[in-house]
C-alpha cells in the first residue's frame, strides 16, 4: 500500500522559505546588481574620460568593442567575485582579508579585460585600461567598506555622547595589547567605557595619538592625568612587563582610588584574544612583585603519567589544586582522600566534568585511622602519595594541641608506614615555614612530620625498615593482624621527601578572605601587629612546586621555595583596602589586635643549621637534614601518641619540646626540664616497644 504524500502547510512553507532566504542573501543580491552596473559602467567612464568627457568624440570602433565585450566581462566579474567570497563576507566586520581579496580579484579582472577585449575585438587606448580598473576597484571597495565605516562612525558618536559614557578610562600601555584594548572599546557598542588618555614609559610616544586618544606621558604622570581627565578606571595592558615593574605601576595606581583592571598575561596577546572583557580585577598577588614560579611541566608529565596517585587532604586548598594539576597529566588513577565529604565531593565533581576519561576515586576517611588508611593502600597500591592532610590553623591548634599532634604527626606516621609496607615509590609531605624554629604547636607538629619522613628514609637506606613499628591505639590491633599490614618479601624502597613553603594566598585560613569580609562589612580590618611579615605564594604555585619536588626526590630532602622578599601583613591589608576603591584609616580603619598565642613576627624558610643545595629549578632549593637520634625519636613518637590520645594538653607541649629541640612555646624561655614524669613515660615507651611486633 502506497503512502499518501501530503503537501506542506502554508505556515511550514513560509518557515522553510525563511530558513533559505536570510538577510545576507538580500545583501548579496544587491551587491551582484551593483557590481553588474559598476563593472560595465567603469570602463565606459574610462572611455568617456579618455575623450574629454564628450560622448560624440568617442571613436565608434572603441564604443562598439566596449558594448560587445561588456556582457562577457560582467559575467566573468560576478564569477570571480563569487569565488573570492565577496558576496558571503560579513561587511560590518570587514578587515584586511576582505581588502586583499577585493584587490586580487580586481587584478585578475584587469588582466581578463585587457586580454579579452584586445584579442576578441580591438586594442583600446592605454588610459582606458588603467582608468577602467581604477574606477571599478574604488566603486566596488567603497560600497563594501562604506557600510563598515558608517557603523563605526555611528558607534563613535554614540559613545561620545555624555549619557552613553559611564566610565572614563586611563589606559596604561601603548603597545600591541593596549591598541587591541583601545580598538575593542571603540568598536564595541555595548561597552560604556571610554579611554581618555594613554600612559606609556616610552618617551618617543609622548604627545602622539592612537585612534584619536593622546599619549600623555609615563608612569610619573599617572596621578596628574587622573585628576586632569577625571579618570574613574585604569586598565593596565602591559602583559610582557616583569612582575616588579607591574607592582611599581600598580603601587602608583592604587593611590588614585580608581578601579583597577589588568590583562592576565602574554598568552592572551599571543592568541589574539586581547579584549576589554579579558581584563581582570587586580589581585593581591599582582602587588607582590615576584615572578610566578616556573616549573618543568615535561618532567612532571613524565613522572605522573601512567601512575596511581593518592592525595590525602585532597579536598583542601592545596590538595584540590594538586588534584587539578595531576588530572591533566594522565595518571593511571587519581585517588582523592579526605575526611570532609563536602570538599571531597566538590573536587570530585569538578574533575569528572573537566576530565571525563579520568580514572578517579573519591574516598572519605582520616589519616589518623590506621585501618582505613591501610585498606586504601592495600586496595589501590598507589605509586606516589602527596600528603596534604593536616590541621593548619595556628590559634585553633594552640587551644587543641593534642589534636594537632594526633592529626599532623601521628597521621603522617600512619600514612607513611602504610605507604612503605605497600610498595609506594614516593611519599611527598606538604610542610610549612612554620616548622622552622616553631613557637606554636602547629609548627612543631609539622616539624615532627618532617622528622618522621626523614626517619623513615634513613631506616630504609640503612636496611632497618623493621625498626619502624606501626602505631596503634586499640589493644586488638597489637601485632597488626587486624590491620593486615603484611609487607611483601622485597625490601622497602619508598623515597620520603618534604616540601616547605609559606602562606598561600586564597587558601583556607588565609588572611586575604578574612580581610575581604571585613572590608565588605565596612571595617575595621584587624591586623595582629604592624610589623608582622610573611612569605606568600599562590595556590597553583604551591601545587606545581610540590609536583616538581616529587620529580627531584632522592629521599630525605626538604625542598624549599625561594619565595622572594616577605610581605608585611599591614601593607597587604592596606593594599586590599585601596584595591576596593577605599582609603585606609579614612574609609576603613585598621585595628591592631596583638600577636596571638604561638604567633611569630616573621617566619623563616630554613633553620640556621640547615645547608642549601640547588636543583635544576633555581627557585627550588634543598635543605640538608638536621641530624637527630632516629631510634630515640621513634620511641618518643609512641609517647607523644599516648599523651595526645589521653588528652594531656599541658603535658604535650613539654613532650614536644623534648622531641623538637628548636620548639620554644610562646611564653617559655629555654628548654623545659623533662623531669621524673618524662623519664617514667620513656620507660613505658621502651617496654611497649619490646612488646610490639616488628615488621620484617
CATH 3.40.50.720 range(s) for the chain read 167-282, 297-504+536-565+604-623
CA distances from 549 to 104, 303, 416, 498, 526 (A): 57, 11, 17, 8, 36
Q: Which residues contact 677 (CB under 8 A, 6 or more apart)?
A: 651
In the predicted structure, residue 145 carries a pLDDT above the cut 70 = yes
Per-residue pLDDT, 684: 43
Report H helices in 84-125: 96-120
Residues facing 527 on adjacent strands: 592
Per-residue pLDDT, 375: 93
List the Cα angle 402/403/406 in 5-degree steps.
85
Residue pair 448/406 in contact (Cβ under 8 Å)? The answer is no
d(CA 658, CA 680): 14
In the predicted structure, residue 686 carries a pLDDT above the cut 50 = no
Residue pair 387/430 in contact (Cβ under 8 Å)? The answer is yes
Q: Which own/partner pairs from 217-223 qualify as long-range (CB within 8 Å, at least 24 positions apart)?
A: 219/172, 219/248, 219/249, 219/252, 222/170, 222/172, 222/249, 222/252, 222/253, 222/256, 223/252, 223/255, 223/256
What angle separates helix 675-691 from helix 630-645, to the nearest 10 degrees?
100
CA distances from 77 to 32, 33, 106, 172 (A): 10, 12, 9, 48
Per-residue pLDDT, 361: 95
Read off the pLDDT of each residue in 128-149 and give the average, rounded to a whole number.
83
Least trusted range by pLDDT, from 110-119, 207-216, 263-272, 604-613 = 263-272
| Cα dihedral 420→412→319→295 (10° resolution) | -60
Read off the pLDDT of each residue in 245-261 and give the average, rounded to a whole number.
81
Q: For all residues of the chain together, what is the average pLDDT?
A: 78
In the predicted structure, residue 611 carries a pLDDT above the cut 70 = no
Selected residue with higher pLDDT from 56 and 617: 56
Per-residue pLDDT, 203: 87
Least trusted range by pLDDT, from 237-251, 658-672, 677-691 = 677-691
d(CA 165, CA 185): 11
Selected residue with higher pLDDT from 640 and 547: 640
The helix or strand, by DSSP H or E, that contains position 217, with its residue range, turns out to be strand 213-217
Classified as helix, coil or strand, 546 is helix
Q: What is the pTM of this model?
A: 0.62
The helix or strand, by DSSP H or E, that contains position 157, with its residue range, turns out to be helix 126-160
Read off the pLDDT of each residue in 604-618 and give the average, rounded to a whole number.
64
Closest alpha carbon to 34 in 172, 149, 146, 201:
146
Domain over 167-282 is classified CATH 3.40.50.720: yes
pLDDT band per the 50, 70, 90 thresholds, residue 282: low
Residue 369: all three cell numbers together: 585511622
Query: What stretches of 342-476 adopt beta strand conformation (E)?
Result: 360-364, 384-387, 426-432
Q: What is the DSSP string of 272-287?
A: T---GGG-EEPPGGGG
Least trusted range by pLDDT, from 119-128, 603-612, 660-669 = 603-612
The helix or strand, by DSSP H or E, that contains position 128, with its residue range, turns out to be helix 126-160
Least trusted range by pLDDT, from 177-181, 192-196, 202-206, 675-679 = 675-679
Which bin fits 606, alpha (ψ -120 to 50), beta or left (φ > 0)? beta
**Percent of the chain residues topping a pLDDT of 90:** 22
Summarize pLDDT for 315-349 with one digit per residue, the tens: 988 899 889 989 988 899 999 999 999 999 999 99
For residue 656, how far is the Cα from the chain centroid? 39
The helix or strand, by DSSP H or E, that contains position 262, with its residue range, turns out to be strand 259-262
In the predicted structure, residue 7 carries a pLDDT above the cut 60 = no
In the predicted structure, residue 237 carries a pLDDT above the cut 60 = yes
Residues facing 385 on adjacent strands: 310, 427
Q: Which of 241-245, 406-410, 524-528 has the highest mean pLDDT?
A: 406-410
Least trusted range by pLDDT, from 125-134, 358-367, 599-608, 676-685 = 676-685
In the predicted structure, residue 192 carries a pLDDT above the cut 80 = no
Per-residue pLDDT, 407: 94
In the predicted structure, residue 458 carries a pLDDT above the cut 50 = yes
Per-residue pLDDT, 1: 43
Residue pair 31/86 in contact (Cβ under 8 Å)? The answer is yes
d(CA 259, CA 254): 8
In the predicted structure, residue 517 carries a pLDDT above the cut 70 = yes
Classified as helix, coil or strand, 148 is helix
Residue 549: all three cell numbers together: 619536588
d(CA 546, CA 322): 8
Least trusted range by pLDDT, from 142-151, 204-213, 216-225, 623-632 = 142-151
d(CA 603, CA 359): 39
DSSP state of 161: S
Per-residue pLDDT, 685: 40
Least trusted range by pLDDT, from 33-42, 198-207, 470-479, 572-581 = 470-479
| CATH code of domain 297-504+536-565+604-623 | 3.40.50.720
List the Cα angle 142/123/102 in 5-degree steps.
20
Summarize pLDDT for 41-76 with one digit per residue, the tens: 888 898 898 888 888 888 888 889 888 898 999 899
In the predicted structure, residue 601 carries a pLDDT above the cut 70 = yes
The helix or strand, by DSSP H or E, that contains position 146, with its residue range, turns out to be helix 126-160
Amino acid at each position: 500500500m502506497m503512502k499518501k504524500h501530503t503537501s506542506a502547510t502554508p505556515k511550514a512553507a513560509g518557515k522553510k522559505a525563511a530558513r533559505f532566504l536570510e538577510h545576507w542573501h538580500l545583501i548579496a543580491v544587491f551587491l551582484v546588481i551593483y557590481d553588474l552596473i559598476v563593472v560595465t559602467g567603469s570602463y565606459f567612464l574610462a572611455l568617456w574620460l579618455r575623450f574629454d568627457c564628450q560622448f560624440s568624440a568617442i571613436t565608434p570602433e572603441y564604443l562598439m568593442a566596449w558594448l560587445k565585450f561588456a556582457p562577457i566581462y560582467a559575467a566573468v566579474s560576478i564569477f570571480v567575485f563569487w569565488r573570492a567570497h565577496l558576496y558571503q563576507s560579513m561587511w560590518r566586520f570587514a578587515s584586511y582579508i576582505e581588502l586583499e581579496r577585493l584587490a586580487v580579484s580586481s587584478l585578475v579582472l584587469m588582466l581578463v579585460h585587457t586580454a579579452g577585449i584586445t584579442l576578441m575585438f580591438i586594442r583600446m587606448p592605454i588610459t582606458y585600461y588603467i582608468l577602467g580598473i581604477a574606477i571599478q576597484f574604488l566603486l566596488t571597495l567603497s560600497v563594501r567598506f562604506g557600510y563598515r565605516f558608517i557603523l563605526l562612525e555611528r558607534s563613535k558618536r554614540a559613545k561620545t555622547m555624555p549619557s552613553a559614557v559611564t566610565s572614563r578610562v586611563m589606559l596604561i600601555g601603548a603597545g600591541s595589547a593596549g591598541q587591541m584594548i583601545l580598538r575593542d572599546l571603540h568598536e564595541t557598542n555595548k561597552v560604556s567605557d571610554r579611554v581618555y588618555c594613554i600612559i606609556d614609559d616610552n618617551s618617543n610616544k609622548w604627545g602622539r595619538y592612537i585612534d584619536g586618544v593622546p599619549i600623555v606621558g609615563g608612569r610619573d604622570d599617572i596621578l596628574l592625568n587622573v585628576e586632569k581627565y577625571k579618570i574613574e578606571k585604569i586598565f593596565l595592558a602591559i602583559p610582557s612587563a616583569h612582575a616588579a615593574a607591574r607592582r611599581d605601576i600598580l603601587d602608583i595606581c592604587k593611590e588614585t582610588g580608581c578601579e583597577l583592571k589588568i590583562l592576565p598575561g602574554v598568552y592572551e596577546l599571543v592568541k589574539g584574544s586581547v579584549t576589554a572583557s579579558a581584563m581582570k580585577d587586580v589581585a593581591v598577588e599582582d602587588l607582590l612583585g615576584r615572578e610566578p614560579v616556573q616549573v618543568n611541566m615535561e618532567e612532571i608529565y613524565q613522572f605522573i603519567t601512567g601512575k596511581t596517585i593518592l592525595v590525602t587532604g585532597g579536598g583542601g586548598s592545596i590538595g584540590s589544586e594538586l588534584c587539578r594539576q595531576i588530572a591533566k597529566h594522565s595518571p593511571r588513577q587519581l585517588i582523592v582522600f579526605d575526611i570532609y565529604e563536602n570538599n571531597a565531593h566538590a573536587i570530585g565533581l569538578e574533575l569528572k566534568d573537566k576530565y571525563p576519561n579520568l580514572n578517579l576515586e573519591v574516598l572519605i576517611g582520616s589519616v589518623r585511622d590506621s585501618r582505613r588508611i591501610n585498606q586504601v593502600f592495600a586496595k589501590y597500591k598507589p605509586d606516589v602519595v602527596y600528603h596534604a592532610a593536616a590541621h593548619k590553623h595556628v590559634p585553633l591548634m594552640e587551644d587543641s594541641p593534642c589534636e594537632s599532634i594526633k592529626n599532623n604527626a601521628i597521621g603522617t606516621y600512619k600514612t607513611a608506614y602504610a605507604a612503605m609496607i605497600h610498595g609506594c615509590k614516593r611519599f611527598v609531605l606538604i610542610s610549612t615555614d612554620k616548622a622552622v624554629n616553631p613557637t606554636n604547636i602547629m609548627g612543631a607538629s609539622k616539624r615532627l612530620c618532617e622528622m618522621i619522613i626523614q626517619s623513615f628514609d634513613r631506616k630504609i637506606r640503612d636496611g632497618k625498615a623493621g625498626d619502624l613499628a606501626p602505631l596503634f591505639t586499640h589493644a586488638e590491633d597489637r601485632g597488626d593482624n587486624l590491620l593486615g599490614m603484611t609487607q611483601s618479601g622485597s625490601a622497602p624502597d619508598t623515597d620520603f621527601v618534604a616540601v616547605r613553603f609559606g602562606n598561600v594566598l586564597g587558601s583556607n585560613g588565609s588572611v586575604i578572605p578574612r580581610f575581604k569580609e571585613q572590608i565588605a562589612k565596612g571595617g575595621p580590618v584587624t591586623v595582629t601587629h604592624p610589623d608582622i611579615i610573611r612569605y606568600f605564594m599562590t595556590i597553583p604555585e604551591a601545587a606545581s612546586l610540590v609536583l616538581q619536588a616529587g620529580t627531584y626526590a632522592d629521599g630525605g630532602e626538604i625542598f624549599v621555595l625561594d619565595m622572594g622578599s616577605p610581605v608585611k601583613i599591614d601593607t597587604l591589608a592596606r593594599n586590599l583596602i585601596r584595591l576596593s576603591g577605599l582609603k585606609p584609616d579614612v574609609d576603613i580603619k585598621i585595628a591592631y589586635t596583638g600577636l596571638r598565642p604561638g604567633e611569630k613576627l616573621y617566619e623563616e624558610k630554613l633553620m640556621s643549621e640547615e645547608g642549601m643545595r640547588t636543583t635544576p629549578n633555581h627557585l627550588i632549593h634543598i635543605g640538608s637534614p638536621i641530624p637527630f637520634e632516629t631510634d630515640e625519636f621513634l620511641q618518643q613518637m609512641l609517647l607523644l601518641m599516648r599523651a595526645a590520645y589521653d588528652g594531656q594538653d599541658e603535658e604535650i607541649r613539654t613532650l614536644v619540646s623534648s622531641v623538637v629541640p628548636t620548639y620554644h612555646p610562646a611564653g617559655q624561655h629555654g628548654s623545659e626540664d623533662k623531669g621524673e614524669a618524662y623519664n617514667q613515660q620513656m620507660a613505658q615507651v621502651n617496654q611497649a616497644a619490646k612488646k610490639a611486633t616488628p615488621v620484617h
